[in-house]
Amino acid sequence: MTTLFDRVWDAHVVKQLADGVALLYVDLHLVHEVTSPQAFAGLRREGRRVRRPERTLATVDHNVPTGERAVAVADPVAALQLDTLGTNARDFGVELFDLTSPGQGIVHVIGPELGATQPGMVIVCGDSHTSTHGAFGAFALGIGTSEVEHVLATQCIVLSKPKNLEARITGSRAPGVSAKDLILALIGKIGTAGAAGHVIEYTGDAIRALSMEERMTVCNMSIEAGARAGMIAPDEVTFAYLKGRPRAPTGQSWKSAVERWRALRSDPGTRYDTQAQLDASQVGPQVTWGTTPGMVADIGGRVPDPAKLPEPEREAAQRALEYMGLVPGTRLEGIPIDRVFLGSCTNARIEDLRAAANVVRGRHVASRVRALVVPGSQRVKAQAEQEGLDRVFREAGFEWRNAGCSMCLGMNADVLGAGERCAATSNRNFEGRQGRGGRTHLMSPVMAAAAAIEGRLVDVRAW
């Protein structure tokens, strides 16, 4: 019995180094400005080259300003890091989508957009949300900078084979319930370390019913459950998404690729190391109340009372509520917010922007709220502008920005002030993640859009 993950793993073993430890070949290496400079410096120091520049793709995303592109980057430290990637890309022959490129964007948005992300690949990047690419049936994982250097030099990575967890999600979603709600509910159920040491394979009719972009949202947050990676077996939805994309195969090689990709699935009746289940029909819109993505509840719920939680969770919940400025028993619906962030590699693709635009069309952001839309890539931005979504957002009082990671991690100027409360479509509500002292509530794009209009957390199903 073989799983999807086993198949991809086995096909990439260059050499078995020890029991369970293999040298794996990397098909696609994505690079960005923050976790690569020390890796390239290491290559230079040792006189090493990039083994396969054509399998390496670089972009700038983490610290880029999202304002006017014609203006020089104001932060000199960030500017040096961006310039360093430019120099490294040129010196080592790596393709770079820089600030002036129409192809620039968040690394996990542009890989799929280009069709560079394909089923059955091993994909790595010095970024934990590399799990996003698993939506195509790739084994895609985040790595550290030393490993980035290793992959640049050898096109391989040394890994201990993780275990395999099946997350079976069944049933149909109610209107107003998004892919984001499914993954948040799953993390709430299994915990932020619930999939540690595992690769998750998402299965079940609720997963099959998702669009490609929704699948990316689900796989993106696999890391928030502690997983090494998330995967979804490719199907007609996958092939339809990829067909005709710039880096996808064409003609006869497209046909043979699809034939190969169809074999990428787990054998029926396969036993996984670990199992988890979720009934999608029981999931409502989710909102986090704490400082880990696992501290999450249905919008109809209340802020929990730490005293009533089991002992290991009590202290963490107490700390979280103190940081979040929330009182136990408070209804989540109605909590006032100051900021809204529509963006990130989790939820800033065209479908996310369309869904959010539908909520805000003809309405206006509450006077107390400052709201930001940061498209995942410049191509997503261009597409949205072609559809007139930028006008919808602007007329509703949102700021319409250029692509980047932006306020997901606040490395650029887009940050929360201390005590500011934000409805965010991103992936992490850690202390200080969006700015020191900032308070993050994670949710879906439609929930964040509705919160922007009302100036408080609301149940989008009532709209």
Partner 1 sequence: MVTPFVRHRGKVAALPRANVDTDQIVPKQFLKGVERTGFAASLFFDWRASPDFELNRPAAQGATILLTGPNFGCGSSREHAVWALAQYGFRAIIAPSFADIFTANCYRNGVLPVRLPGNEVDILMRNAAHGNYELVVDLAELRVTDEQGFSTSFSADAYGRELLLRGLDEIGRTLLEEPSIAAYERSHS
Which ranges of 263-406 does DSSP label H, i.e. alpha helix?
A: 311-324, 350-360, 378-386, 389-395
Which class for 320: exposed (0-12), middle (13-18), buried (19 or more C-beta within 10 A)? Answer: buried
Of the candidates 309, 321, 132, 101, which has an alpha carbon nearest to the alpha carbon of residue 222?
132
Establish if 417 lies at the interface with partner 1 (CB under 8 A).
no
**Closer CB to partner 1, 156 or 177, in the complex:** 156
Binding residue count for partner 1, defined by CB under 8 A: 66
Given 32, 421, 433, 439, the residue binding partner 1 (CB under 8 A): 433
Given 62, 108, 173, 379, the residue binding partner 1 (CB under 8 A): 62
Establish if 197 lies at the interface with partner 1 (CB under 8 A).
yes
Given 128, 270, 274, 358, the residue binding partner 1 (CB under 8 A): 128
Establish if 185 lies at the interface with partner 1 (CB under 8 A).
no
Q: Give min distance, CB of 27 to partner 1, in A.
A: 9
How do beta strands 95-97 and 56-59 pair? parallel
Question: Residue 238: in which H helix or E strand, if any?
Answer: helix 236-242
**Closer CB to partner 1, 41 or 209, in the complex:** 41
Rounded Cα distance between 423 and 444, Å, is: 9
Token duo for residue 336: 């006032």
How many helices (H) and strands (E) would you count in the chain?
Answer: 15, 19
**Closer CB to partner 1, 128 or 211, in the complex:** 128
Establish if 428 lies at the interface with partner 1 (CB under 8 A).
yes
Q: Give min distance, CB of 252 to partner 1, in A.
A: 17
**Closer CB to partner 1, 260 or 368, in the complex:** 260
**Closer CB to partner 1, 381 or 440, in the complex:** 440
User: Which listed range, 74-82, 249-257, 341-349, 438-446, lies at the site for partner 1 (CB under 8 A)?
Assistant: 74-82
Residue 129: phi, psi to the nearest 5?
-85, 15
User: Which listed range, 70-78, 89-97, 205-213, 374-382, lies at the site for partner 1 (CB under 8 A)?
Assistant: 70-78
Given 410, 450, 452, 459, the residue binding partner 1 (CB under 8 A): 410
Establish if 258 lies at the interface with partner 1 (CB under 8 A).
no
Rounded Cα distance between 442 and 463, Å, is: 19
User: Which listed range, 109-117, 120-128, 132-140, 181-189, lies at the site for partner 1 (CB under 8 A)?
Assistant: 120-128
Given 5, 9, 25, 289, the residue binding partner 1 (CB under 8 A): 25
341-380 residues near partner 1, rule: CB under 8 A: none
User: Which listed range, 73-81, 99-107, 325-333, 452-460, lies at the site for partner 1 (CB under 8 A)?
Assistant: 73-81
300-329 residues near partner 1, rule: CB under 8 A: 312, 315-316, 319
Given 19, 54, 68, 311, the residue binding partner 1 (CB under 8 A): 19
Of the candidates 158, 150, 119, which has an alpha carbon nearest to the alpha carbon of residue 135?
119
Coil/strand/helix, residue 180: helix
Contact status, residue 139 vs residue 199, Cβ threshold 8 Å: yes
Q: Under the phi-then-psi rule, with left for phi > 0, alpha for psi from -120 to 50, and beta for the rest, what region is 379?
A: alpha
Task: For the beta carbon of residue 311, count every other beta carbon within 10 angstroms.
Answer: 6
Contact status, residue 238 vs residue 261, Cβ threshold 8 Å: yes
DSSP letters spanning 41-88 = HHHHHHT---S-GGGEEEE--SS---S-TTSPPS-HHHHHHHHHHHHH
Q: Give min distance, CB of 97 to partner 1, in A.
A: 20
Establish if 37 lies at the interface with partner 1 (CB under 8 A).
yes
CB-based contacts of 210: which residues, under 8 Å, 6+ apart? 179, 218, 237
Establish if 441 lies at the interface with partner 1 (CB under 8 A).
no
Rounded Cα distance between 151 and 146, Å, is: 9
**Closer CB to partner 1, 152 or 179, in the complex:** 152
Q: How is residue 128 annotated by DSSP? A: G
CB-based contacts of 80: which residues, under 8 Å, 6+ apart? none
Establish if 240 lies at the interface with partner 1 (CB under 8 A).
no
Given 101, 192, 277, 358, the residue binding partner 1 (CB under 8 A): 192
136-175 residues near partner 1, rule: CB under 8 A: 141-147, 149-150, 153-156, 158, 160, 162
Query: By the criterion CB under 8 A, which residues form the site for partner 1?
Result: 14-15, 17-21, 23, 25, 34-35, 37-38, 41-42, 46, 48, 51, 62-63, 75, 77-78, 80-81, 84, 126-128, 141-147, 149-150, 153-156, 158, 160, 162, 192-193, 196-197, 223, 226, 228, 292, 312, 315-316, 319, 409-411, 428, 430-433, 436
